[in-house]
Structure 1
Amino acid sequence: MILLPAPTRVLQQILLHRIRYLDRAIELDYQLVEFDDVRYHIQASSSDATSMILSIGLPAPPPEAVLSGGLPFGAIEAVKSVFGPVVQIVDPPEHNFQLTLKLDLSKLPPDEDERAELMIQFACLRAIVLGAPLRDVLKHLAAKVVSPEADRLMPIIHRPRESFFVIPQPDKVTVVIPIRFKDSNDSVLATSFLQEFMEARRAGGLSTAPSCQWSPHPPVELKGAPAHALDANSGFVSFVLLPKHVESEKLDNIVWSLCTFHAYVSYHVKCSKGFMHTRMRRRVETLIQALNRAKPEEEKDGKSTQGRSILRLV
């Protein structure tokens, strides 16, 4: 299994390259698109060596999503907590983007390693913004209380016009992720993959992992969810998180893993299809070689010493 890394690789490379030349004013203007329709726009002017502009565009929200200023609940507070005085939130944000940050490069840490670590955090902006509501719920779970702002059924955006649901309780948090695929073949492969994924949880080395269940029908936890959110052709995956699963350094990893679980499944479905296509092509090539060996030899024409053609009988 391959887990997707949280930092956006191209954005990380651009930011790390920029801090290598802090004494220079470099012209930058990049527009990047990541999976699940997350977009970035990074700008820097050749006349200003101390600032950069970074904008992020989020997936189109589903009808049930609850947003504040176009952003998930707690996103602004999460950004301020992670980056502190290094960033200034631009209001209003850039057109067609939900959040625009102005980076003050003069306030970066003096230590080179700390600067690089901060740039990697900027490359994780997607996880910080989209994962803010889930992170808040899981922080309260670690304290064994329920966030006062949390509803019984919290929708959290993770794909264009799609959300997964969080059901917070003092002693556990249940996360239910509807899995949808447009292609029917992808749906079949995803269903098989998720069934195996659920069975893998029973392996000895994974006994401490969160409980995982898959069902082709909506679980009882989704009672009261809108009808369109219950239409999932690849079923529903449920994770039950306990306080021990969100301790300290585990928190960020589990937030990222849950927010990108659909992309994780989609990645392995595409890999499975690629593997099967490769096997089929190799099998076809083997059959063609067998057919070629089974062909009778073609009749060969020879010529006499006088230049006349003769037919050689075999």
Structure 2
Amino acid sequence: MILLEPHNTIIQTTLLDKIAKPSTLDVQFVDFDGVRFHLTSGDKKTMILLSMNIRCWDELARYGAMDILKREYGALVLDQPENEYNVSLMIDLEQVPQDPESRDAFVMSIAMLKRNALSATFERAFQEQKELETSGGKAELMEIHYRDEEAIYVQASPDRVTVIFSTIFREETDRIFGKVFLQEFVDARRQPSIQNAPQVLYTNRDPPLEIRHIAGLRSTEDTGYVTFVLFPRHFSKPDVAAATISHIQLFRDYLHYHIKCSKAYMHSRMRARVTEFQKVLNRAKAEVATGEKKTVSGRTMVHR
């Protein structure tokens, strides 16, 4: 299966093009989960403004998203974002590192703006888990309503961090495919080679116990809840924690992307099979004789 990249390719390619050849710019585009971006140049072609609008910004800001963005981007973060956007970065192309490796790393960090904003909740949960190892108890249940009728719930405990995704399957076939995929996640963990993978639990319609007290949760047949149980080994080291955050926040998009790919593959196979059946039927048709019949004297026989 294909793993989705945590960075935005449009931001990456556009910035690399403008670094090589500065020019006027005004581009608006949308990423997964309805996140809107705006790339524009000001009066000076080498000054690029990147703005992002994400519907769960108020929740992310409460969990420390702005602190993380300032840690990652420093003075690039504007105190007053562009109108109708939640956060803006001002990028001076003349200050971009000249070394190719450093330049690519800088552009990649800018392209991961959405990923870094969403990481605030997970980084806070990982920190809370370390504190609860000695004090005990449970941390606050953090909610990220990043899509209409769908959310991510994160809660730290003394020995784990629980991440719950609620997702809506709009079609009956999507629900069937989703159940097959998610059951494979559960079964695959039984293999000896991936015993250290996070535990995955799936429930249909009924919310997990950790969030059952929340008012307004959907409990319909088209609703599914996926629970990931992260243990300290999944986030104890900085590089491992960064990889965990990058992968887990894209889980919902990963799941629905592969459901659509599977449906497209099955439709293509069905069309190919129909084409083969049509060929067989065409070969089975009886050929109609069109030759003329003549008598012994050479006259043509005419049917009346």
TM-score normalised by length of structure 2: 0.87
Change (3 A) 1:39 1:72: farther
For residue 165 of structure 2, give the secondary structure of its aligned residue in structure 1: strand
Distance in 2, matches of 1:177 and 1:284, equals: 39
Distance 1:12 1:186 in 2: 32
Alignment pair present for 1:224 and 2:221? no
Distance 1:144 1:51, change over 3 A: farther
Which residue does the alignment assign to 1:279?
A: 269
Q: Which amino acid aligns with 1:183?
A: E
Q: Which runs of 5+ in 1 are unaligned?
A: none
Letter in 2 for 1:130: L
Structure 2 distance, partners of 1:90, 1:310, is 98
Which sits farther off after the overlay, 157-166 or 271-280?
Answer: 157-166
Instruction: State whether residues 36 and 160 of structure 1, in contact with CA within 8 Å, keep that contact through their aligned partners in structure 2.
Output: no
3-state SS of the aligned residue for 1:32?
strand
Match of 2:78 among 80, 83, 89: 89
| Structure 2 letter corresponding to 1:236 | Y
Preserved contact between residue 40 and residue 55 of structure 1 (Cα < 8 Å): yes
- Give secondary structure in 1 for the equivalent of 2:281: helix
Q: Select which of 241, 244, 248 maps to 1:251.
A: 241
Closer, same or farther: CA 301–15 of 1 in aligned 2, 3 Å: same
Name the CA distance, whole Å, in 1 between partners of 2:221 and 2:134: 28
Question: In structure 2, what is the Cα distance between the partners aligned to 1:19 and 1:222?
Answer: 47
Is the 2:77–2:87 Cα contact (8 Å) retained in structure 1?
no
- Partners of 1:72 and 1:146 in 2: CA distance: 25
Residues 188 and 234 in structure 1, CA contact (< 8 A), matched pair in contact too:
no
Paired residue type of 2:143 = P
Relative distance call for 1:179 and 1:161 in structure 2 (3 A) is closer
Residues 169/66 of structure 1: CA separation in 2 closer, same or farther (3 Å cut): farther
Q: Secondary structure at the match of 2:159?
A: coil
Scaled by the length of structure 1, the TM-score of the pair is 0.85
Deviates more, 1:264-273 or 1:231-240: 231-240
Residue 109 of structure 1 and its aligned partner are, at CA, apart by 3.3
- Tell me which amino acid in the other structure corresponds to 1:103: I
With over 3 angstroms needed to count, the CA separation of the structure-2 counterparts of 1:288 and 1:103, relative to structure 1, is same
Are positions 1:35 and 2:35 aligned together?
no
Q: Of the candidates 256, 259, 263, which is equivalent to residue 269 of structure 1?
A: 259
Deviations 1:131-185 (A, max 9, x none): 22122212443666599xx953211233245211112112210111112122222
1:145–1:94 distance in 2 versus 1, CA, 3 Å: farther
- CA shift for structure 1 position 256: 2.2
Question: Structure 2 counterpart of 1:53, which letter?
Answer: L
Among the aligned pairs, what percent are the same residue?
Answer: 32
Alignment of 1:55 with 2:54, yes or no, is no
Post-superposition shift, 1:254?
1.4
Residue 18 of structure 1 aligns with which residue?
18
Q: Secondary structure at the match of 2:38?
A: strand
Does the C-alpha gap of structure 1 residues 289 and 40 become closer, same or farther in structure 2, counting only changes over 3 Å? same
Structure number having the greater helix percentage: 2
Contact kept in structure 2, 1:180 and 1:232, CA below 8 Å: no
> Aligned residue pairs: how many?
298
Determine if contact 1:6/1:127 at 8 Å carries over to the other structure: yes
Structure 2 runs not aligned, ≥5 long: none
